[in-house]
Amino acid sequence: MFSKILIANRGEVAVRVIRACKEMGIDTVAVYSAADADALHVVMADESYCIGGPSAADSYLNMNALLTLAKKTGADAIHPGYGMLAENPTFARMCEECGIVLIGPGAEVMEAMGQKEIARDIAIRAGLPVAEGSGILSDAAEAEREADRIGYPVILKARSGGGGRGIRIIREKSEIPGAYSQVQREAQSAFGDDGIFLEKYLENVKHVEVQILADKEGHVLAVGDRDCSVQRKNQKLIEECPAPVLTDSLRSRLHTAAKELAEAVRYVTVGTVEFLVHGDSFYFLEMNTRLQVEHSVTEMVSGIDLVEWQIRTAAGVPLPFTESDVSLGGHAIECRICAEHGKDCLPATGRVKMLHIPGGVNVRFDTALYHDCEITPYYDSLLGKLVVSADTRDAAIRKMKCALSEFVLVGVENNREMHMKFMEDENFLNGRYDTGIVAKVL
């Protein structure tokens, strides 16, 4: 087992990883930017070091600084959290060259599954259904020809990255030239890779993902599934586990497909395989080679600490349980509490003047907030994840309404009221919603 882990991230996920390490008896090293000097993860870690200026590029994304500090402090592993460098194969290779374990599936798998057109090919070879698509496009003219072949609507996608960036839906040919340039620029700016491709855009679908846990001995488990269809601008807002209204047969097929893909790339640690579901059919979307923001809902229904087992499997510890040993009980829902202005949904900043975190049985708020902390404009707007679980979905929704009504945050505008609308809307309550639900509710 690792003796010391450097956490190459900030905010809620850094706090989450530090807690897991403390419970496992592992020393932790926190890094922080000049803007995060007073952040919660800084005081929680055993050691903390400033590695650069406020921007992520000058600090949390500075690979050389992270590796230099890891070597200096004697860390034998780095946990990248999610976002930042979590799916960066270049950083994974640099860690390998330095003799430091990057907690994840390895550079080769990250590279293959991080480039979406390569991931599509691997999924096809593994027997997974995929939506009709193109290869990497050379220019807008080729995009027009491929769109005519595939049939509108189509979606332009950056082959790298995620988080809803580098994506445009196109419904007619006249939109392609402008959209092509926009996606290419956004992809280059966000991911340093302007490669883009086309896929058939599937409407009125559910976004369902399967949680994977695998060890180095080749054991691959599907630890439940999640519905992530409540999205705004391709950013997830609400997740629940298990995904509602799936038949037992469809759920079994999704889990089998996810495991087959993981086995095909010899996956290790935690990961997520995402699908678009329409009726009784499903299509491979992508694989996330990291811890997901929404892992918390799976932990609530499975009782498995996914961060702990991510660390253990990365260290070579074999899984002591099988999939049949995993008991999924009840239902969990997560609402992402974000700093944003109500009308335009733009990121908000401010200082926390009052904070009351809901309590009660099976109520959890994963956050790095504390009284008088400052929310700056430099990073993602996620403030925390409010998670509840109960015996049934209806009971979980009622519990979430109670938790949202109890949650108080003064000083930073946030989206609590938006979440309450979903908990009271028939489109969400019946569980049959799809990725178009936000337009109906908001």
Give the pairing of strands 154-158 and 350-351: unpaired
Identify whether the C-beta of residue 95 lies closer than 8 Å to the C-beta of residue 102: yes
Instruction: Give the whole-angstrom CA distance, residue 388 versus residue 320.
Output: 28
Identify whether the C-beta of residue 276 lies closer than 8 Å to the C-beta of residue 202: yes
> What DSSP line would sit under 78-143, residue for residue?
EE--SSTTTT-HHHHHHHHHTT-EESSS-HHHHHHHHSHHHHHHHHHHTT--B--B----SSHHHH
Question: Which residues are bridge partners to 70 per DSSP?
Answer: none
End-to-end CA distance of the chain: 48
Which residue matches tokens 């919660």?
Answer: 40
Catalytic residue, from 16, 290, 364, 393: name it. 290
Residue 432 designated active-site: no
Q: What is the DSSP letter of 319?
A: P
Q: What are phi and psi of 235, to 5 degrees?
A: -105, 130
Tokens read off for 146:
């491929």
Identify whether the C-beta of residue 9 lies closer than 8 Å to the C-beta of residue 76: no
Q: What are phi and psi of 236, to 5 degrees?
A: -70, 140
Identify whether the C-beta of residue 31 lies closer than 8 Å to the C-beta of residue 66: yes
Q: What is the DSSP letter of 179?
A: H
Half-sphere exposure for 200 (CA within 13 Å, toward CB): 14
Q: Which residues are catalytic?
A: 290
